[in-house]
């Protein structure tokens, strides 16, 4: 363990972008307003979650295209796009377009795996090819190659009045270095490192443990598991210790909160606490406890967190269903109090 934590270099936040099905525009506008507020407060990055067939952002690239025209400095990320729902070539075109419109601020985070509730959506999603689709790492490999400029066609040149390229257009040369993999297992962390991606960690990990050489015997400690994943990622990455890792725990500072807000935040964390005691479900997912308290209290807990000590970028996750004024208070305390307590100068 390093003698001291790495000073925080990049402060970000993550929002799910919930909306009312009866008024979806208002919810999307609220998400854009949160991102604008984040830039005003001096955050380095704003990230949006991705939800299909739910009342959350289903098209984060479109939302971030809008955000790119309402902001000038803040980085804009997805955490994460599940590639099982996407055509990598079409997604590569959209990502490059938005990256150019944003002035090179897009940070696409992706993951792989079979789409959620696939048996219920397969006929709508892949009516003719469901059994042939690759939902593994090959899908993200295709996206990486296309974004990085590898050929998508065996033809380029002029045909009549039309000019064709053999690679995805537009091409954004630096975007390939800003692709993130949302990983929660040792294998996914290693794969991301081997393929030169950045690593997005979150408040969920796969409880791999007693028999794995990277884990202390019998340990199901969240921080220790996440630490092993970060170290496995950097050991496999060409950039080694300089490889970028962002941590996405749920933290809720209460410095300027009202008594009613503090009570609501504490109740929120308490409702979610049971799932942090042991691995959950067949996938054996382990959840990190939400951290609620003053910025100084949160900083002390994070400085003791084994995985946090080895990252210098964060995208703290905002709670799912709070009110806009709650998010304003939380983001303001994060930017003006928690960030400095973690080593990042106040804006």
Q: Considering only CA atoms, which of 284, 288, 287, 294 is closest in space to residue 329?
A: 294
CATH T-level assignment (fold) for domain 10-180+198-206+248-297+309-341? TIM Barrel (3.20.20)
Tens of pLDDT, residues 234-260: 999 999 999 999 999 999 999 999 999
Provide the CA 296 distance to its chain's centre, in angstroms.
25
| Beta bridge pairs of residue 48 | 15, 78
Confidence at residue 209, expressed as pLDDT on a 0 to 100 scale:
60
**Residue 14 φ/ψ, nearest 5 degrees:** -125, 135
Q: Considering only CA atoms, which of 30, 4, 67, 47 is closest in space to residue 316?
A: 47
pTM of the model: 0.94
Provide the CA 201 distance to its chain's centre, in angstroms.
7
Confidence at residue 99, expressed as pLDDT on a 0 to 100 scale:
98
pLDDT by residue, tens only, the chain of 347 residues: 444 678 899 999 999 999 999 999 999 999 999 999 999 999 999 999 999 999 999 999 999 999 999 999 999 999 999 999 999 999 999 999 999 999 999 999 999 999 999 999 999 999 999 999 999 999 999 999 999 999 999 999 999 999 999 999 999 999 999 999 999 999 999 999 999 999 999 999 999 864 454 444 445 799 999 999 999 999 999 999 999 999 999 999 999 999 999 999 999 999 999 999 889 999 899 999 999 999 999 999 999 999 999 999 999 999 988 999 999 999 999 999 999 999 998 77
Q: CA 314 to CA 329: how far, in whole Å?
A: 18
Question: Do 236 and 193 contact (CB within 8 A), yes or no?
Answer: yes
Q: Tally DSSP H helices, then E strands, for the chain.
A: 11, 14
Cα-only R_g, the chain: 20
**Residue 165 φ/ψ, nearest 5 degrees:** -110, 150
Report the b/e string of 44-68 with b at 16+ CB within 10 A: bbbbbbbbbeeebbeebbebbbbbb
Confidence at residue 345, expressed as pLDDT on a 0 to 100 scale:
82
Judged by DSSP in three states, 19 sits in coil
Q: CA 30 to CA 16: how far, in whole Å?
A: 11
Ramachandran assignment for 42, one of left (phi > 0), alpha (psi -120 to 50 degrees), beta (any other): left
């Amino acid at each position: 363990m390093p003698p001291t934590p790495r000073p925080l270099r990049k402060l970000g936040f993550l929002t799910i972008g919930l909306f009312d099905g009866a008024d979806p525009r208002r919810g999307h506008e609220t998400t854009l307003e949160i991102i604008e507020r984040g830039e005003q407060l001096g955050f380095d990055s704003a990230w949006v979650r991705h939800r299909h067939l739910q009342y959350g952002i289903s098209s984060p690239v479109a939302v971030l295209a809008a955000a790119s025209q309402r902001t000038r400095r803040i980085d804009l990320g997805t955490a994460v796009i599940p590639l099982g729902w996407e055509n990598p070539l079409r997604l590569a075109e959209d990502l490059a377009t938005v990256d150019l419109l944003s002035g090179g601020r897009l940070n696409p985070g992706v993951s792989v795996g079979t789409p959620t509730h696939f048996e219920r959506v397969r006929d709508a999603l892949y009516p003719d090819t469901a059994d042939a689709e690759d939902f593994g790492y090959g899908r993200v490999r295709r996206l990486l190659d296309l974004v990085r400029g590898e050929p998508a066609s065996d033809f380029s040149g002029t045909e009549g009045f039309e000019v064709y390229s053999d690679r995805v257009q537009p091409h954004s040369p630096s975007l390939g270095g800003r692709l993130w993999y949302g990983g929660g297992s040792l294998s996914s962390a290693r794969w991301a490192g081997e393929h030169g991606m950045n690593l997005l960690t979150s408040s969920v990990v796969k409880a791999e443990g007693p028999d794995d050489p990277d884990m202390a015997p019998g340990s199901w400690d969240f921080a220790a598991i996440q630490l092993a994943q970060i170290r496995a990622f950097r050991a496999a990455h060409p950039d080694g210790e300089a490889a970028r890792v962002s941590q996405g725990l749920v933290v809720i500072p209460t410095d300027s909160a009202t008594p009613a807000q503090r009570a609501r935040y504490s109740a929120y964390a308490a409702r979610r606490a049971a799932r942090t005691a042991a691995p959950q479900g067949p996938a054996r997912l382990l959840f990190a406890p939400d951290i609620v308290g003053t910025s100084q209290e949160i900083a002390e807990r994070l400085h003791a967190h084994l995985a946090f000590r080895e990252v210098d970028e964060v995208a703290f996750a905002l709670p799912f269903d709070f009110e806009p004024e709650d998010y304003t208070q939380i983001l303001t305390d994060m930017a003006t109090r928690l960030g400095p307590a973690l080593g990042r100068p106040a804006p």
